[in-house]
Structure 1
Amino acid sequence: MNEADRDRAVELVQQAYAEGRLGSTELESRLERALTATCADELRPIVADLPDETVRLWSLGGRLTRTGAWPVPRRLRVESEYGRVRLDLSRAHIPHRRVDIELRLTYGHATIIVPPGAGADIDGVHAAWGRVTCRTPARPRLGGLDVHVTGNLPYGRLTIRASRK
């Protein structure tokens, strides 16, 4: 089991508590079990009844654009064969401290615009012949949005930058 699995379980439990789906006693119990788990099998029952929805956006050759006050899910999977993707998080409604974005760009191009103070971790992005440009720090400032980008860009391109506003 890796730390990312444990962190994900802890975050799901905390989110469920913040949304009122768990009481404080249940929160404490689940957090203790998550933090002392030694394998992934011990984490599964802790989060089995908690939603962890991934929203999927897909395009073959067109444009995928999200701007303005759009609701950003906790997990977003974006797939584009030849198209262009633009995700502007600078004015979006983001109820989470962390957002995970998984990209599958065969030949496409993605631009992700983050709000000031946000960080973008791109360590999980694999670009064979593609190109990745990140103009933001990997870690957010205190209280800033934490964006984790993973995925595969065989020939695709990814640009991440902070909002100019």
Structure 2
Amino acid sequence: MSELQMRVSDDDRERTTLRLQHAFTEGRLTQLELEDRLELALTAKTYGDLLDLITDLPDEQPSVDDVIELEATHGNLKRSGDWAVPRRLRVSSKYGSVELDFSEAVVTHPVVDVELDLTYGSAKIILPDGGVANVDGFHSDYSNPKSAVPSRPRPGVLHVVVTGRSKYGGLVVRYPRKRWFAH
């Protein structure tokens, strides 16, 4: 079965409707075209159905708001809980560690690029269950990156692409730890 024949999720339909609405606000679609395409997007069954609705629109380029830079010299950087994730994160830390927890974050993009520039610190990235991460673009002089999650993109789940370097630190990518509660 080709990827175009795979069934879509509600999130996939929502992303396509947002893209169509954005194209309308830019003047690329008329009101009638928008209404027709929205109806088809909301009833789409496969990726091919959704792709047919947006192939004549330009690819979305990240805006300035879609790139966030986080920087620390001595302290640790941590993002967790309910936080808005941009398309691209540039993170630099000279002596501290970095923890990016995506498990409860609001992620509206299918792919998030994380660029790490670490000197003495390490980074930990926690993905929501089912998320995937490609760490092939991250290099450390001290250790190899460790990833306990799949690296191949999958439709409908978060895909994080990690690039950058660390001189003396490392990188760990994993899912959230399971919490066991006594009754």
Once residues 73 and 143 of structure 2 are traced to their aligned partners in structure 1, the CA distance between those partners, rounded to angstroms, is 18
Map of 2:72 onto structure 1: 59
TM-score under structure 2 length normalisation: 0.66
Once residues 157 and 166 of structure 2 are traced to their aligned partners in structure 1, the CA distance between those partners, rounded to angstroms, is 27
Q: Which digits, 9 at most, give the CA deviation of each residue in 1:138-158, with x for residues without a partner? A: 024441100000001121211
Once residues 61 and 16 of structure 1 are traced to their aligned partners in structure 2, the CA distance between those partners, rounded to angstroms, is 43
Percent of aligned positions with the same letter in both sequences?
40
> Deviation of residue 129 (structure 1)?
2.2
Once residues 22 and 141 of structure 1 are traced to their aligned partners in structure 2, the CA distance between those partners, rounded to angstroms, is 26
Q: Which digits, 9 at most, give the CA deviation of each residue in 1:28-62, with x for residues without a partner? A: 4444xx7xxxxxxxxxxx95xx6253100001110
> Deviation of residue 105 (structure 1)?
0.6
Greater share of strand residues, 1 or 2? 1
After superposition, residues 81-100 of structure 1 pair within 5 angstroms as 81-100=94-113
**Could you say which structure has the larger radius of gyration?**
2
- What letter is aligned with 2:139? H
List alignment gaps of at least 5 residues for structure 1.
1-13, 35-45
Kindly indicate whether the alpha-carbon contact (under 8 Å) linking 2:140 and 2:167 is maintained by their aligned counterparts in 1: yes
- What letter is aligned with 1:80? S
TM-score under structure 1 length normalisation: 0.72
What is the alpha-carbon root mean square deviation over aligned residues?
2.6
List alignment gaps of at least 5 residues for structure 2.
1-14, 31-53, 179-183
